[in-house]
Structure 1
Amino acid sequence: MSVELYCSFCGKSNSDVTVLVAGPSVYICDECIDLCQEIVLERRKVKEVESVDKNAADLYRFLYGSAGGAFDRAVVCPHAILQEQTGLDEAQIKAAIALLTERHMLQVMPCGEDCSLYLMDGLPAETKFNDLSQSYSIKANVLVKPNPEIKLFS
């Protein structure tokens, strides 16, 4: 009888993953290894950008954190929130976005007045094309400023 082992990070069993690597009293699956490699590479890229432009690195960190990090890669954010949260002015944000776009770390899609959709490292995992409407459906986090006159959540 074989013993069922589980990934110490995500909890998946060895029968649910391709590879389960054993460590000293811990296990990690191939999917979590891939995710960890992605996180390490992401941090290296941000450090490289930071050596060129600290503002670009700060902007990316804010967007990456707002998007949900390694799991989700899209966030809709009004320009005012971007300026407020990063402390950058419009010109600094524009320069930072240009650098991040040039390095293929960010794509920007306007989606309304003074608001944009920011995609980290290309397209997020949950992107679907609708043939009928000829449009994309993108799972994204949305940042909003609370308005005391509007009750969003009960």
Structure 2
Amino acid sequence: MSLRDTPDDHVIDTVQFDVEAGKVREFARATFTEDPVHTDRTLAMSAGFAGVPATATHTVVSGHHRNQRAFVDSLGLALERVVVGGVKWEYLRPLVTGDSLTGVRRVVKDEIREGKRGGTMRVITLETEFVDAHGATVARQQETIIERGGGS
């Protein structure tokens, strides 16, 4: 039985990580963020944040805490044919240093499409819902994974 034969909303993995000041600073530098609220705790607190706020794409840190090989294998993907089709984020509140997050990643759609230039491709939509230590949903990340020639 392939994953395509299982119901939608199939859980792929669960990940836990803390929003750490060092990682927030690294992301701020890597994304050329100029707002000092992402690096100065005093300024962040005076701006009304509960800690130093993370930059907008911070949930990608979860990839460092996942078993990526197991993820690829669980989907039955041929890694050499895979490309990322896109990533979207929805934040329900700012992530701040000190947050402890748990993310549950699910398959929300898995389909075979005909390519515009012939052949098929497998398009998988994944969604990770991140909750804080109190169980409140704080962010969602949606990824589209494309496996070229994945229709066989």
TM-score using structure 1 length? 0.30
Greater strand share, 1 or 2? 2
Per chain length, whose mean CA-contact separation is higher, i.e. which structure has more relative contact order (CA < 8 Å, sep 6+)?
2
